[in-house]
Each structure stands twice: as structure tokens, then as C-alpha cells.
Amino acid sequence: MSALTTIVVAPFIGAILIAILGRALGRWSGLLMVAAALASFYAAYTLLGTETPALATHQWIPSLGVSFRLRADAFGAFFALLISGIGALVAVYSLGYDTHDLGRARIGRYYAELSAFMGAMLGIAVADDLILFFIFWEITSISSYLLIGFWYERQAASDGALTALLVTALGGLAMFAGFVLIGLATGSFALSEIIADDARREALIASPAFHPAMLLVLAGVFTKSAQVPFHFWLPGAMVAPTPISTYLHSATMVKAGIFLLARVTPLFAASVVWPLIVVPVGLATFFLGAWQSFRENDLKALLAYSTVSALGLVTLAYGLRAPEQDVLQILSHATYKGTLFMVAGIVEHAAGTRDLRELGGLRKTLPISFVLCFLGVLSMGGLPPLFGFVAKEALYGSLLDSSMLGAQPLLHGFVVAVVVVANAFLLASGLKLLIGVFLGKGHGAHESHGEPALLWLPAAVLALGALGLGLLSSTDASERLVNGLSSAANAQLAVSLVPTHVGPLVLTLVTIVLGVAIYRSRTRVEALQQRVDRLPDAQAVWDALIARLTRFAEVCSEWWQNGSLRWYFSAILLFTTGISFFALEVGGISIATISIGFQNLGWASMGLALLILMTTIAVVRADTRLGAALALTSSGFLVALVYAVYRSPDILLTQILIETVSTIVILLVLYFMPPFRKDGLSPALSAWNATVSGLFGLAMFVFVLLCTSPAFRETRNLGQDYLARSLGQAGGRNAVNVIIVDFRAMDTIGEITVLVVVGLCVYGLLRARRAEG
């Protein structure tokens, strides 16, 4: 297996192993996940130095042009390193995290889900086929739903998980539609091919689907990366255990949207509409996230909103056509935010609360966390010598470059001012966190649980990363790292710890002064924030929308699924009738030309037909349900005899068995059926029943007639074709069975899946009803 395939496959193998062994291993299954993460990390590392991006293609659905196509360019490999590296740290951190003694099976499941999530994220990083990308994207949505809902007994956890799933899955569907449009317009689903091929790109731009596709893909980006107005699900998802919040909601999953933005920027950035959408969304998210972050008193909510803000910043960079910022900003955010989330987990573990108003003076009990938090906040606030400072300098440098917004000084000035103020708010909420938790007076005697090494070690790795990257940022290696891994071709971003230009330095100083000022006058700022009423609460709008939708669905199902078996049966029969005649109409097949002759019918067939007719009349005229059932069974066995006459042993056998089993089932359920109502049906109902049965009977009659007519069999010779290929291609003499298990195996997969689901539903529904008593 190539290194490229290993990146994706290793975590999934880990997930399967953990799912099997988790019950026995309990929390130690975390070590399996660490191993899987390190395998992916190493595989991604080997791909970094290659000249041309590694490519691995496996056939998947060639008839639709979809393949299992992986490709690791520098940016993809960077993303894979980030995901697997932080994945390993989070797995270690989880080992020390207090999961309230939930039992081994639950912990095992946690690691299995986390590992599968990591595999899907790595899949996103290296998938080159758009459909494959979508599938990994959806796996992250589903696994994050399971992970956010880890404490599913709690109402808040299941609500938060559901909202996150609905928002991201809806965005994912929109994105899928966008991908399909791209695929149709360019004739390929291979992203790197589309980007490399000018003809395909121009075909997309010229196509009327260009703007719809762009909007749909952006919907996926904005929902996944929690951009305004879809930002509300992220703070709601903070009910998850802290390792989950660290991994999903700061380091990786929310960055999947950003990653997609980077991937599609070459396709769409040429459009004039692109900055008009992406810039306002990014700017609004950046500012509102920072603003809201400062309001919060819950540690994780504060960090969640600052994450929203940081994601807005990267979106803004893509909107301003400055994609070379991406690696720098993503790396800077991942290091400091991961640290801070992990520290928040340690604080909660030690003090039993996350509320800033109940915390304080913890620097003596949690000295290591204090130092780590200090480093994280410095980087978040953009202070030297941390990596955050370098990132902020470079950002300001790009922003001040006047070519970015064209010749519109007013707009330019506005964007710069908003960015500075938002950064100041981020610094202020960092100070609020650091000072509120660790300095000042303690609030009563918290029962401290200390700082387990398993918890602070991973945080220390990330914090030292932020410090080390900052200190080393003046070296050539650092610039090569930031530019070489960027999604932008020929990125020429200058990064340096020592300020080289006056403009950015001035802006940084303004930010710091403003940030400290905001923090010092926080009571006044908070009063101002109280007065400026909350932005129209997106969560409330969403909840109302979902409530309406649910009500609508209820009304529909109450009308349609009214519990009457007759009604269901009528619907099924009418649908079958309709689609049969529709097929005839579309196929241009007329039955007028078919000659009906009785000369080929033997006495046996005639006699059988007569008997079937008699039993059928008996079904209709029966006075009891048991009588009707028995008459129906006899009719079925007689039909089986017809197959015997026409020498079709397979269908004969099937028919006899089905009749037998249906009789058993009928006898089993007879007891629970409502009284047999035959007399006293209203004339309207009788007429309806007669019409439905008559139409269905007519449809079946026409079809049988058609299929058995010589003219039809000569022109549409599917049966002969199957018979001819059965032995040679599938190695079976029984063409009927070969059709089921080989030629039409996909149909069978659908059917058996339905069968399994029906069985599970019967099991679940009846067991649940019995359990209720």
C-alpha cells in the first residue's frame, strides 16, 4: 500500500480494531488510536518532500467517472500532518481526561469514533475526486455528531449534536449539488485535473452553472467552518468532552471548510462575485466572533467564539485573494487554540467548573497550566515572540498592500479598521481568560485534582510549537515552510519575527493598546455590549425554522401515514399501476398489435386458469378472514402449478415457499387484526376498492400479455442474453440465480438491505412496545 493510501486507511483500520477490541481494552484503546495517528503522520511526512504530488487512483464507479483518487500536494500533506499530529496529541490527552467512569465499552466506542473521524478528515485532506471528498466530508459530520453527543443522556448534548449535524449536513448536501454541477460542466470530478486544464476551467466559467455551483460550494464551506450566519452551531457543540472540542472544533473539522475554500479558490476566485460574498462573510465572522468571545464567561464558549473569529479571518484572506496567508494563519491558530482548549479541560478537571466568575487564583495550584495558558494567550493576542505575532504582522502587511482592494481607499480603510478592532477584542478576551482563571483571588477552596501529565503534556507540545515557530520564524526554513506548503501557487509571503515594515508594526501597537484598553475598561465595554442588543439570534431563527419544518412533516405524515392498511395498500397498488402505464407510454409500446390466441393453450392450462379464477372469487366472497387467507393460499399454490406446466422450476419453488411462509405469517398476525369488516362498507369505499383493484389487475394483465407475446420477446431479448452469458461469465448454469447474485447484484443489495431493515424494525418496535407493558 502506498504512503498516500496509508494516510487514509490506517485510522479506519484503527477504528475497526478499536470497535472490536474496545470493550476489552477500555481506555487503553486510546493507544491504538495514537499508533494509527502516528502511522498516518509518518506517511504524510514522507510525502512532503516530493517534487510532484503523489497520486493514487483506484477504480470505483467508472461508469460515472468517479474514482477513489487520492492526491497529496504540499497543502494537502500539511493538512494531513496537522490532523494526524494533533490527533495523536488529543488521543494522549483523552487518556488523562476524566470521563466520569462511564465503563469500558463507552470509552472504547469513543476512541473508535474519534479514530474514524480522524480517518475521514485525512480523507478530506488528500481526496482529489470531488465525490470522494463529499463522502469523507459526510463521515466527519456523522462521526462528529456521535462525538458531540458523547454524553447523550444530557439534553444539551443531544440538542447540540443534532443542530451541528443538521447545519453541516445541509451545507454538505448543497456542496454535493455544487460538485455535481462542476462535474457536469467540466466533464471531470478530479479536482487537480480540472484546475490544471485551462479548457475545463473555462468551460466551467462559461457554463450557466458557474455561479450556482459557487454559491452551493460556499454554503458547504460556511456551514462547516461556522461562518456567519451559520456560526451558532459551534458554541452549541461545546457540550462535548473537552478533547472533542479541541480536536473537532478548534484544530480540524471546522478547518475543513477553510480547506475546501482553498481547494476551490482556483476555480472561482476569478469571478467578480467571489470577493463580494467571501469578504463580507469573513469580515463579519471575524469581528462578531471576537466581539461575542469577550462577552462570554464560560471558558469553552469564549474559546469557541474566538475560534469562529479566527476562521473568519482565514475566509477573509481567501476572499481578498491572499491565499498565501493560509498555512501561516491555520498553523498559528491550531497551536495556540489547541493549547487553550486543553488548558480549559485541565482547569475544569481541577476546579470542577468552567465559569470565569467562579474561578481565580489558580496559578499556585496549576502552575504548569498557567505557563501554557500564558503562552497561548500571548500567541492569540499576537504578542512577540509567539507565532501569533508573526502571523498577525504578516496579515497586516498583506492588508496594507493597497492592491488588495483595488482603488477604494474608504473600503480599504474600513476593512483594516475592523480587523484591528477584532484583533484587539481577541487579545482582550485572551487577557480575560488568563487573568480570570489564574490571577486574582481564589473563589473558595476548590477541591483541586492537580495536573496529570497526560493532560498537560499534549498542551505543552502545542504551546512549545507556538513558541518555537515564533522564535524560528526569521529563518529561511520558516519561510519555506509557510510558502512551500501553502495552497497558493508561488506564494511569496515574507515572515519575520523582527518587524521589517513600519505599517504593520504600527497596527500591531494600536491593536495591543486597544486590546489592553478594552480589557481594563471591561465593565464599561460589557455595559455597551449589553446595550447593543444581541445580533438577531441565529440560534433562535434556526430553532423556529426546525420547529416549523417538524410540524409540517407531522401534518404530512398524519395525513399520509394514517395507520390504515387499506390506504397503504391502495397507495402501493396505484403507484405500481401508474408507473407501469408510464413505462409503456415512454417506451412507445402498444398492446393493440398483440394478437390473442388460445390455440397454444393446453387443457391443463385451461383447467388451472379456471381453478385459479374460482379460488380468487372465493377470496372475495369469504366471510371470515381465515377463510379468505386460506382461499388466497390455494390460489397461490395453483399459480405455482402454472410454473410447473411451463417448466420453470426456480420460480415454482419460490412461489410454493413464499405461499407457505405467508400462510405462517398470516396465521401469526390473524389474532391481532381488527374485526373483519365486509358488510357495511360505504358505497364510496367499495367503489374505491373496486377501482384500485380493477386498475391494478388491468396493469398486470397488460404486462403479462406483453411479456409473453412472441413479438415482444423477439425484439427485446434480454432473457436470451442473460442465458447466453450465464455460464461463461458467471460460471453458473442457473441463469435465474446468476441474475440475482451477479448480473443484477446491485439490485439485490438494495433488496436485502430493505429486508434487514424491516427485520430490525419489527424487532425494535415490538420489543419496545412489550417493554412499555
Partner 1 sequence: MHESPVLRTVARIAVPLTLLLSLRIFEQGHDMPGGGFIAGVIAAAAGAIPLLAFGMGGAARFPWWRLSVLGLLCSIASGTVPLLAGSTFMDHVILDFDLPLLGNVHLPSATFFDLGVYLIVLGTLMTLFVEMGLEERRWNS
End-to-end CA distance of the chain: 54
The answer to whether 232 and 540 are in contact (CB under 8 A) is no
The answer to whether 221 and 170 are in contact (CB under 8 A) is no
- The cell 407475446 sits on which residue? 709
The minimum distance between CB 645 and partner 1, in angstroms, equals 16
Q: Which of 254, 247, 302, 238 is nearest to 93 (CA)?
A: 247
Written as nine digits, the cell of 350 is 481541577
The minimum distance between CB 717 and partner 1, in angstroms, equals 23
The reply on whether position 740 binds partner 1 by CB under 8 A is: yes
Q: Looking at beta carbons only, is 28 or 637 nearer to partner 1?
A: 637
Q: Using CA of residue 347, residue 348, residue 352, residue 357, what is the dihedral sign?
A: positive
Site for partner 1 in 55-74 (CB under 8 A): 58-62
Q: How wide is the angle at C-alpha 381 spanned by C-alphas 375 and 382, nearest 5°? A: 90
Pick the binder of partner 1 from 184, 657, 705, 724 (CB under 8 A): 657
Binding region for partner 1 (CB under 8 A) out of 162-170, 303-311, 454-462, 731-739: 731-739
The reply on whether position 742 binds partner 1 by CB under 8 A is: yes
Q: In whole angstroms, give the CA distance from residue 274 to residue 262.
A: 13
The reply on whether position 750 binds partner 1 by CB under 8 A is: no
Task: Let me know if 755 is exposed, middle or buried by CB neighbors in 10 A (0-12, 13-18, 19+).
Answer: exposed
Q: Looking at beta carbons only, is 570 or 648 nearer to partner 1?
A: 648
Site for partner 1 in 374-433 (CB under 8 A): none
Binding region for partner 1 (CB under 8 A) out of 234-242, 579-587, 667-675, 692-700: 667-675
Binding region for partner 1 (CB under 8 A) out of 43-51, 266-274, 413-421, 726-734: 726-734
The minimum distance between CB 1 and partner 1, in angstroms, equals 10
The minimum distance between CB 571 and partner 1, in angstroms, equals 23
The reply on whether position 704 binds partner 1 by CB under 8 A is: no
Q: Looking at beta carbons only, is 590 or 737 nearer to partner 1?
A: 737
The reply on whether position 745 binds partner 1 by CB under 8 A is: yes
Binding region for partner 1 (CB under 8 A) out of 160-168, 333-341, 450-458, 646-654: 646-654
Q: In whole angstroms, give the CA distance from residue 771 to residue 773.
A: 5
The minimum distance between CB 7 and partner 1, in angstroms, equals 17
The minimum distance between CB 128 and partner 1, in angstroms, equals 18
Q: In whole angstroms, give the CA distance from residue 396 to residue 291.
A: 20
Pick the binder of partner 1 from 588, 770, 771, 772 (CB under 8 A): 770
Pick the binder of partner 1 from 407, 672, 768, 772 (CB under 8 A): 672
The reply on whether position 674 binds partner 1 by CB under 8 A is: no
The reply on whether position 752 binds partner 1 by CB under 8 A is: yes
Helix (H, G, I), strand (E, B) or coil at 99: coil
Q: Looking at beta carbons only, is 54 or 107 nearer to partner 1?
A: 54
- The b-or-e profile of 153-164 (16+ CB within 10 A means b, else e) is eeeebbebbbbb
Helix (H) or strand (E) holding 94: helix 74-96
- The b-or-e profile of 96-130 (16+ CB within 10 A means b, else e) is bbeeeeeeeebbbbbbbbbbbbbbbbbbbbbbbbb
Q: Looking at beta carbons only, is 61 or 601 nearer to partner 1?
A: 61
The minimum distance between CB 139 and partner 1, in angstroms, equals 16
DSSP string, 423-446: HHHHHHHHHHHHHHHHSS---S--
The minimum distance between CB 629 and partner 1, in angstroms, equals 15
The answer to whether 98 and 347 are in contact (CB under 8 A) is no
Report which DSSP code applies to 230.
S
The minimum distance between CB 190 and partner 1, in angstroms, equals 18
Q: Looking at beta carbons only, is 400 or 656 nearer to partner 1?
A: 656
Binding region for partner 1 (CB under 8 A) out of 24-32, 147-155, 413-421, 647-655: 647-655
The reply on whether position 2 binds partner 1 by CB under 8 A is: no
The reply on whether position 650 binds partner 1 by CB under 8 A is: yes
89 Cβ contact list (under 8 Å, min separation 6)? 338, 458, 461, 462
Pick the binder of partner 1 from 410, 671, 674, 772 (CB under 8 A): 671
- Encoded amino acid at 171, one letter: G
Pick the binder of partner 1 from 407, 586, 592, 668 (CB under 8 A): 668
Q: In whole angstroms, give the CA distance from residue 650 to residue 716.
A: 22
The minimum distance between CB 733 and partner 1, in angstroms, equals 4
Task: Map residues 217-256 to x or -, x wherever contact with partner 1 holds by CB under 8 A.
Answer: ----------------------------------------
The answer to whether 670 and 624 are in contact (CB under 8 A) is no
- The cell 488523562 sits on which residue? 96
How many Cβ atoms from other residues are within 10 Å of residue 650's Cβ? 13
Is omega for the bond preceding 385 within 30 degrees of 0, making it cis?
A: yes
How far, in Å, are 468, 517, 591 from residue 475 at the CA level? 12, 34, 83
The answer to whether 227 and 218 are in contact (CB under 8 A) is no
Q: Looking at beta carbons only, is 99 or 748 nearer to partner 1?
A: 748
Q: Looking at beta carbons only, is 414 or 763 nearer to partner 1?
A: 763
Pick the binder of partner 1 from 352, 409, 649, 710 (CB under 8 A): 649
The reply on whether position 572 binds partner 1 by CB under 8 A is: no
Q: Looking at beta carbons only, is 514 or 730 nearer to partner 1?
A: 730
Q: Which of 397, 377, 399 is nearest to 388 (CA)?
A: 377
Written as nine digits, the cell of 223 is 456551514
The reply on whether position 654 binds partner 1 by CB under 8 A is: yes
Site for partner 1 in 583-602 (CB under 8 A): none
Task: Map residues 176-215 to x or -, x wherever contact with partner 1 holds by CB under 8 A.
Answer: ----------------------------------------
How many Cβ atoms from other residues are within 10 Å of residue 206's Cβ? 10
The reply on whether position 768 binds partner 1 by CB under 8 A is: no
Longest CA pairwise span in the chain (Å) = 105
The minimum distance between CB 152 and partner 1, in angstroms, equals 22
The reply on whether position 439 binds partner 1 by CB under 8 A is: no
The reply on whether position 756 binds partner 1 by CB under 8 A is: yes
Binding region for partner 1 (CB under 8 A) out of 54-62, 432-440, 492-500, 683-691: 54-62
Pick the binder of partner 1 from 731, 768, 771, 772 (CB under 8 A): 731
617 Cβ contact list (under 8 Å, min separation 6)? none
The reply on whether position 543 binds partner 1 by CB under 8 A is: no
Number of residues that bind partner 1 (CB under 8 A): 47
The reply on whether position 767 binds partner 1 by CB under 8 A is: yes
The reply on whether position 665 binds partner 1 by CB under 8 A is: yes
The answer to whether 273 and 214 are in contact (CB under 8 A) is yes
Q: In whole angstroms, give the CA distance from residue 352 to residue 332.
A: 29
Q: Which of 520, 540, 526 is nearest to 292 (CA)?
A: 526
Q: Which of 111, 155, 121 is nearest to 141 (CA)?
A: 121
Phi-psi region of 74 (alpha: psi -120 to 50; beta: other; left: phi over 0): alpha
The reply on whether position 669 binds partner 1 by CB under 8 A is: yes
Binding region for partner 1 (CB under 8 A) out of 25-33, 154-162, 457-465, 756-764: 756-764
Q: Using CA of residue 676, residue 680, residue 685, residue 686, what is the dihedral sign?
A: positive
| HSE-CB of 154 using CA atoms within 13 angstroms | 13
The reply on whether position 20 binds partner 1 by CB under 8 A is: no
Residue ranges binding partner 1 (CB under 8 A): 58-62, 649-650, 652-654, 657-658, 660-661, 664-665, 668-669, 671-672, 730-734, 736-738, 740-742, 745-746, 748-749, 752-753, 755-756, 758-760, 762-763, 766-767, 770
